[in-house]
């Protein structure tokens, strides 16, 4: 073996040894690696749906400075293109008032939120909700901020509101911009917490909304039913009936939306529940009268609870990577809910209270944030996805990017509860493969997310779990939360990258070819 080639391989081994204990020794795999992945082989093209949309809580939260900072931070590192907000018509947005019997619309706060989003490079995935008090027909309200969820006796005022809103958006932002948005009718009408009406009344709401939007411009994209669960039979609630209704009424359906949370009644479902849900959903939509409709899962997480300790810990990162990798080709977006713990459905929480955000209220990134940051680095051609190894190629540059993760085989259902309790589950896993067809002498950045690196919750506990962290503590925790373990490894002069490392349970590794 020539000296230069030998030195390059020695650097790979040394770097790998520095990254993780238990690295597979060179002699064990160097000349006879059982798994070979061809970096120049045929790939399956796909869109990076995991960065398409992210949940963003309540619209009025967008008026806060820290909300905008966290959105921009998430956009910078995770690449989210759209954000979906609840309650754009809620009373705290002050969009409507009665002036001596005349309805007057006020779009000041709507404009402020949308202006900030668009300036940050994030488009609205518009959720048409909730009823302003003057339109709702009853006193029924939900959540501490009193979302009005009782449908009106008729939808004349609602239709006028939607029409005026759409016209205003086009006048302010232009049809070329607004035609790239999505308009989703309501949020989880199958859940009493968000809809104090019947299925038939929701269908009537959809008809009024879709008709109003298309009357303003046929280029506006509308969809639903934005339902919040899958049944025990594995079917998305209301989906089939919704499509049949729209076909019968000759209504447009540009996209179908739902929320495939992997839990029923608070109990975790099987580990592959999401991919099964998406397979079912694809089958229904493609066989429907709307086979070209996009599929957007506008909320998703390991659970819908805003007090699930799993959301703060390391294990959820490996779960996020697995679900997204297994969902390639099945969905146009799978929106993590949410980018911030400021998503305050039940009021503000402690620093780490199991909130659904990628970052907590103090803008400290969680392991889930790193999962999306690593996914954002992946290419758009899938080369390999099996046994915790996901390898992609970037179509334009031909760069290769891979994620490795160790989600223990002993885990059969979606992880929930205290994350630390899961560290004893599962075994270390050796990853041993050869990646061919890389650029000669290619350099790869390696990032490792584990229980000691990039794990904000551990850093917080090590700091004594301060109830109200001081400013300098917050800055230190932010830095520690971003500090994954880093190194570089090199391919050979013939463009072959040897990978041999052992991951502890729940570890996640990004291997990304340098441009």
Confidence band of 18 (pLDDT split at 50, 70, 90): very low
| Average pLDDT over all residues of the chain | 91
The third-level CATH classification (topology) of the domain covering 3-45+381-513 is: Immunoglobulin-like (2.60.40)
Residue 333's DSSP bridge partners are 296
Q: Which residues 6+ apart lie within 8 Å of 137 measured at CB?
A: 150, 151, 152, 153
Other CB atoms within a 10 A radius of the CB of residue 26 amount to 17
Name the residue ranges covered by the structural domains of the chain. 3-45+381-513, 49-376
Q: How far apart are CA 105 and CA 245, in angstroms?
A: 32
Q: Which residues 6+ apart lie within 8 Å of 116 measured at CB?
A: 62, 68, 71
pLDDT for res 23: 36
pLDDT at 195 over 90: yes
pLDDT tens-digit map of 505-514: 999 999 999 9
Confidence band of 1 (pLDDT split at 50, 70, 90): very low
Q: How far is CA 249 from CA 154, 218, 231, 242, 483, in A?
A: 18, 17, 26, 11, 54
Q: How far apart are CA 248 and CA 230, in angstroms?
A: 24
Domain 3-45+381-513 and domain 49-376 have a common topology: no
pLDDT for res 35: 97
pLDDT for res 393: 98
Check if 2 is active-site.
Answer: no
pLDDT tens-digit map of 111-141: 999 999 999 999 999 999 999 998 998 777 7
pLDDT at 75 over 90: yes
Indicate which residue of 61, 127, 188, 447 is catalytic.
188
Q: Under a CB-based contact definition with an 8 Å cutoff, are residues 151 and 206 in contact?
A: no
pLDDT at 180 over 50: yes
The third-level CATH classification (topology) of the domain covering 49-376 is: TIM Barrel (3.20.20)
């Amino acid at each position: 073996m020539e000296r230069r080639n030998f030195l390059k391989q020695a650097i790979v081994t040394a770097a790998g040894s520095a990254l993780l204990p238990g690295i597979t020794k060179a002699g064990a795999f160097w000349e006879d690696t059982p798994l070979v992945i061809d970096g120049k082989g045929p790939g399956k093209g796909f869109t990076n749906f995991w960065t398409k949309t992210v949940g963003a809580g309540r619209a009025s939260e967008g008026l806060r400075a820290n909300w905008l900072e966290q959105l921009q931070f998430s956009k910078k590192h995770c690449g989210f293109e759209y954000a979906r907000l609840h309650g754009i018509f809620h009373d705290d947005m002050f969009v409507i008032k009665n002036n001596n019997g005349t309805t007057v619309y006020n779009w000041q706060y709507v404009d402020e939120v949308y202006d900030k989003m668009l300036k940050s490079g994030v488009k609205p995935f518009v959720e048409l909700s909730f009823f302003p008090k003057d339109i709702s027909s009853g006193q029924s309200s939900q959540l501490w901020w009193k979302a009005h969820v009782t449908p009106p006796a008729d939808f004349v005022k609602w239709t006028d509101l939607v029409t005026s809103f759409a016209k205003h958006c086009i006048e302010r932002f232009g049809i070329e911009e607004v035609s790239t948005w999505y308009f989703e009718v309501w949020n989880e009408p199958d859940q009493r917490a968000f809809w104090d009406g019947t299925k038939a009344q929701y269908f009537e709401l959809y008809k009024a909304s879709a008709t109003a939007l298309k009357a303003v411009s046929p280029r506006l994209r509308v969809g639903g039913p934005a339902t919040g669960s899958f049944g025990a039979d594995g079917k998305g609630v209301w989906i089939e009936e919704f499509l049949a209704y729209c076909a019968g009424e000759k209504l447009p359906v540009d996209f179908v939306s739902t929320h495939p949370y992997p839990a029923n009644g608070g109990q975790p479902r099987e580990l592959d529940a999401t991919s099964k849900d998406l397979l079912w959903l694809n089958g229904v939509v493609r066989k429907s009268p709307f086979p070209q409709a996009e599929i957007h899962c506008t909320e998703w997480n390991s659970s819908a609870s805003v007090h699930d300790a799993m959301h703060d810990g390391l294990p959820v990162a490996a779960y996020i990577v697995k679900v997204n990798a297994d969902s390639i080709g099945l969905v146009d977006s799978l929106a993590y809910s949410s980018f911030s713990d400021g998503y305050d459905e039940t009021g503000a929480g402690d620093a780490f209270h199991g909130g659904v955000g990628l970052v907590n209220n103090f803008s400290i990134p969680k392991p889930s944030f790193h999962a999306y940051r690593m996914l954002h680095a992946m290419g758009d051609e899938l080369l390999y996805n099996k046994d915790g190894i996901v390898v992609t190629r970037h179509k334009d540059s031909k760069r290769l990017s891979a994620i490795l993760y160790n989600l223990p085989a002993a885990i059969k259902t979606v992880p929930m509860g205290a994350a630390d309790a899961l560290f004893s589950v599962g075994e270390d896993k050796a990853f041993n493969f050869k990646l061919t067809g890389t650029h000669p002498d290619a350099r790869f950045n390696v990032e490792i997310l584990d229980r000691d690196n990039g794990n904000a919750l551990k850093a917080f506990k090590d700091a004594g779990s301060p109830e109200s962290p001081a400013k300098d503590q917050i800055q230190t925790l932010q830095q520690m939360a971003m500090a994954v373990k880093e190194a570089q490894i090199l391919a050979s002069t013939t463009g072959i990258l040897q990978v041999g490392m052992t991951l502890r349970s729940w570890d996640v590794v990004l291997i990304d070819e340098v441009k």
